[in-house]
Structure 1
Amino acid sequence: MSRLAGQVVLLTGGGSGLGRAIVERFVVEGAKLCVLERSPDKVTQLQADFPEVVVAVAGDVRSYADNELAVNTALETFGKLDVFIGNAGIWDHNASLLGTEPARLGKAYDEIFDVNVKGYLLGARAAAPALVAAEGSMIFTLSNAAFYPGGGGPVYTAAKHAAVGLVRQLAYELAPKVRVNAVAPSGMASDLRGPAALGQENMRIMESRSPEAIRAILPLQFFPAPEDFVGPYVMLASRADNRTLSGVLVNADCGLGIRGIRHVAGGLAL
């Protein structure tokens, strides 16, 4: 397979879960990658596992300087940049409005929006000049929470809806040089964690949701692995397969759009 042969990709949050699956598949497809990853241990592991084709940078997507460093590293190492994938994110473990203390709610908003929205915005700004020069593309990771309630609490859901607006606005601003799209996966087993503001920084997504619970709400009735979602990223990044899509949200929700999320979430008793 070589659908991405010769392409250089910058990915945020590529050390585990969906990000790691994207790295593995893109390498198979012929791409070279620079990964911006917050965990130094994951940076070291990426360098060890993918010598010569992956360069990893330790940094935080909330910092423009770190995003700029990643872009410059990609350019200095591989000579160009074709694709930016904004993928780093955190989840709120369904922290509800009434179940969250007001003082924590505001802090959780700041942290989740900083990572999930500002991180995308700053990464896009850092990568945009190189992508315009290459006539490349941007791809952002959304969530089923960008379309439906129940995929997170109000803060996470609002952040993912905000990212939808960001994708559409950037697609508008950067046309005709850069295509801007998104992929919105459903739940999966990953290392996705929560905000420190809610005491969830060491809490993984599967500690509050079981494979059985995720399978039960999906019309396709299987528990997807991260690699099951990577195909749309390959298609959107490929120049051969995508010259016509921009501002498109690939809703990779395992069929949730057929009927939405149906599960009891402890609704308000009146």
Structure 2
Amino acid sequence: MTGWLEGDVALVTGGGSGIGRAVALRFLREGAAGVAVFGRDLDRLRTVAEAAGHDASRLLPVPGDVRSVDDLQEAVATTVARFGRLDVLVPNAGIWDFNRSISGTTPQEISAIYDELFDINVKGYLLTVSVAWPELVKTRGSIVMTLSNAAFYPAGGGPVYTAAKHAARGLVTQLAYELAPKVRVNGVAIGGLRTDLRGPASAGLAGRSIEQSFARREGTGPNMWLPLHDASTDPDDSTGPYVLLASRREAGVITGAVLNADGGIGVRGFATAAGGDDL
């Protein structure tokens, strides 16, 4: 039986770790002819190729920064030169603000966090699509953006991160409109996953990961606020929605949609769920 992405070629930004890495490897297992992983750390990208095992020949590490038009153009050109086409684009690179609240930061800190985080999480997505859409038009391909529960609900981050994810949700809607009918554009709103997602260097958080935050609350039951209490925080278990939305066969009629894959956070807010009774 063939995979859902048989013969397709994908480019995943932020592909060196976390959900980007997991999606890249899953795409290979679904039969993708090639997957390029783009990120700032070449050594980390190479570990993804190592993890691909016998599929490593179909995995292309491409170093660069999503804030650089030149780097992104080179990534698209390199992907097409290597694999001959581009079918699926996954804008995914991002950082988190570690729930820095408006009352817990100074105006100067907010300004610095905003500039860095929006440059990566919003401008980075927009630039990625800007350089890649002509190739996607040729293949009638698709874009699957990584969003977050913070694109819909509070407490998935501080005001800067939440605003950025709402902005990315707007990009899904606008770009789906602009690129129809040639290119489908959708998003996956994931929940909190155990990854190496870092914070803004401007806030001194570049060396801290979201995984460390999970570890600190290990004894309190990290999933107690989820209606799906045993929902996995392993990024490998959140790759299915990306495969679905990328598949022409299974999602050919879907564009402008955001699939919530967050363990049901929106069913009951964080506060209610944390204090709710088990059924």
Range of TM-score over shorter length: over 0.9
Query: What aligned pairs does 1:12-23 form with structure 2 within 5 A after superposition?
Result: 12-23=13-24
Q: 1:263 to 1:108 in 2, by over 3 A?
A: farther
The corresponding residue for 1:45 is 47
1:236 aligned residue (226, 240, 245)? 245
Could you tell me how far 1:232 is from its partner in structure 2?
0.6
The corresponding residue for 1:30 is 31
The corresponding residue for 1:268 is none
CA distance in 1, matches of 2:199, 2:17: 15
Asked if residue 123 in structure 1 is aligned to residue 131 in structure 2, the reply is: no
Asked if residue 182 in structure 1 is aligned to residue 187 in structure 2, the reply is: yes
The corresponding residue for 1:220 is 228
Could you tell me how far 1:46 is from its partner in structure 2?
2.7
CA distance in 1, matches of 2:96, 2:37: 21
Contact 1:171 1:178 in 2 (8 A): yes
Contact 2:42 2:61 in 1 (8 A): no
Could you tell me how far 1:264 is from its partner in structure 2?
11
**How many residues are matched?**
265
RMSD: 1.6
The corresponding residue for 1:143 is 148
Could you tell me how far 1:203 is from its partner in structure 2?
0.4
The corresponding residue for 1:64 is 69
1:254 aligned residue (240, 257, 263)? 263
Q: 1:149 to 1:213 in 2, by over 3 A?
A: farther
CA distance in 1, matches of 2:273, 2:98: 15
Gaps of 5+ in 2: 275-279
Q: Which amino acid aligns with 2:60?
A: V
**1:72-94 deviation digits (Å, cap 9, x = unpaired):** 01100000000100011100000
The more displaced of 201-210 and 240-249 is: 201-210
Taking only the aligned residue pairs, the percentage that are identical comes to: 52
Q: Which amino acid aligns with 1:198?
A: A
CA distance in 1, matches of 2:203, 2:239: 30
Residue aligned with 2:270, SS: coil
Could you tell me how far 1:263 is from its partner in structure 2?
6.8
CA distance in 1, matches of 2:78, 2:243: 22
The corresponding residue for 1:6 is 7
CA distance in 1, matches of 2:115, 2:185: 25
The more displaced of 48-57 and 199-208 is: 48-57
The more displaced of 118-127 and 38-47 is: 38-47
Gaps of 5+ in 1: 266-270
Could you tell me how far 1:131 is from its partner in structure 2?
0.3
CA distance in 2, matches of 1:200, 1:224: 21
CA distance in 2, matches of 1:220, 1:46: 30
Contact 2:226 2:273 in 1 (8 A): no
Could you tell me how far 1:155 is from its partner in structure 2?
0.3
Contact 1:148 1:261 in 2 (8 A): no
> 4+ residue runs of structure 1 moved beyond 3 angstroms?
47-50, 209-214
